[in-house]
Amino acid sequence: MRPRPLAAALAGFATLTLAACSSHQDASGASGSGAAAVNSAAVTWSDHVCEVVRAGGVKLSQLPAVDPSAPARAKDSLVTYLGSLSEALTELAGGIQREGVPPVHDGQATLERAMSTLDASKSSVDTAKAKLAAAAVTDQATFEQAVREASTAFQRLGTTDGPTKDLKDNPELAQAFTQAPNCRNLDTA
């Protein structure tokens, strides 16, 4: 059945979003103990951001049931899911913005890069949703065609690690993410 590429893209994006805030080592290989002094304000900021990512991840992980034998309902399910995905990205952006500029060197530029990634991701999702919603689906073949056309918008999502990668490109935030409880445990939640 052909709808799998879109479902795989959606699941992949959800996984990337969650994994982007998972536990890792800093660039020196240290896990935080014995490393340079930790910026506690950055740890708190990162912890709050990962809490927002966790909440969005719950929403993203709820993939729709798609039954290609009922193409109109399958299309509606995917359109609804894309709407939820877009909403989750909006909530993630809002949650990050509520935390303000990260309290680190080059924090404003780091935040702007992360927000740009989120905006591009949301735009891709909204484009896919609009394409799928507008598609005339009358049978399995037209459903598969609609999914193929909508899934092109997800090609970009498959290559992004989400906004937390942009945040962790900042060395101070990368260290803070290793120390923040919500970030360390995000991948096991």
Of 50, 52, 62, 47, the closest CA to residue 14 belongs to 62
Q: Up-side HSE of residue 57: CA atoms within 13 Å toward CB?
A: 24
CATH 1.20.120 fits 4-17+38-188, yes or no: yes
Q: What is the pTM of this model?
A: 0.74
Listed by start position, the domains of the chain span: 4-17+38-188
Residue 12 confidence (pLDDT) above 50:
no
Give the three-state DSSP class for 137.
coil
> How does pLDDT run across 131-145, given as a tens digit for each residue?
899 999 988 888 888
**Predicted local confidence at residue 144, as pLDDT:** 87
Q: pLDDT over 70 for what percent of the chain?
A: 73
> How does pLDDT run across 62-118, given as a tens digit for each residue?
778 888 788 989 899 889 988 988 898 899 899 999 999 999 999 999 999 999 988
User: Are residues 61 and 14 in contact, defined by beta-carbon separation less than 8 angstroms?
Assistant: yes
**Predicted local confidence at residue 160, as pLDDT:** 58
**Predicted local confidence at residue 29, as pLDDT:** 34
Weakest mean pLDDT among 33-42, 85-94, 162-171, 176-185: 33-42
Weakest mean pLDDT among 21-30, 114-123, 147-156, 174-183: 21-30
**Predicted local confidence at residue 63, as pLDDT:** 79
Which residues are CB-contacts of 148 (< 8 A; sequence separation ≥ 6)? 2, 5
